[in-house]
Structure 1
Amino acid sequence: MIFGVIGVGSMGRNHVRVLTEIKKVEDVVIYDVNRNQAEEIAEKYDARIANSVEELLKEVDAVCICSPTKFHFQHASECLEAGKHTLVEKPISSSYDEGKKLLELLKSHRDLVFGVGHIERFNPIV
């Protein structure tokens, strides 16, 4: 499976690190508007860099969205429309209306796995 990561700031770089440690992940493709940051992460974790979200979506099976919250709705919508399994970091969107639209969009993509990442969700102490 090939994973994409949109946004490689502090949370995104963690996703890249973990994905590169999973044996069934064949490759990781990253995109970030900050090209220097993308290059640094790509070199550190042997990931490939896409020049745009559109390019990334053509190359991957699933996507982790780690971009700033104001882009979550846009990126999640693009991923679903492209037929990609998607994990979006919390919150799902920056507004109630965007969240509601995204839930409506999900109804027409029931074949895809979609989740919202909550950092403490799998912490054994919780």
Structure 2
Amino acid sequence: MTYASFTADVVYGDTQPVITPLITNEFTKEIRIVFRIGQSMKAHKTSFPITVMIVQGRIDFGVGEERYELVAGDVVALEGNVIHDLNALEDSIVRLSLHKGDSVARVNGVLKL
């Protein structure tokens, strides 16, 4: 068994979201992304499908030209190669579930865009 908490030991970054891998196994990679209000991840995509869940807070989530306001408990799944972005409307915690072929390094690279 592997245990992790999306709400324990949360650290907010001063200038950009904080990305923390919580679980990695042969099936998935579970990542916590912590945003302060106003922080964002610019438009990006991955070759693999992803699932994004709002654990806490409120996120303006863009998919192509569409905008969605996601709140705690909301979850979205995207196929690979779908351009999306995230903007924190309040302090927020996001769960990102990656395909086993995807990498945490790629997610960290999005902050450099």
TM-score, normalised to structure 2, is 0.28
Higher helix share: 1
Higher strand share: 2
TM-score, normalised to structure 1, is 0.26
Higher Rg: 1
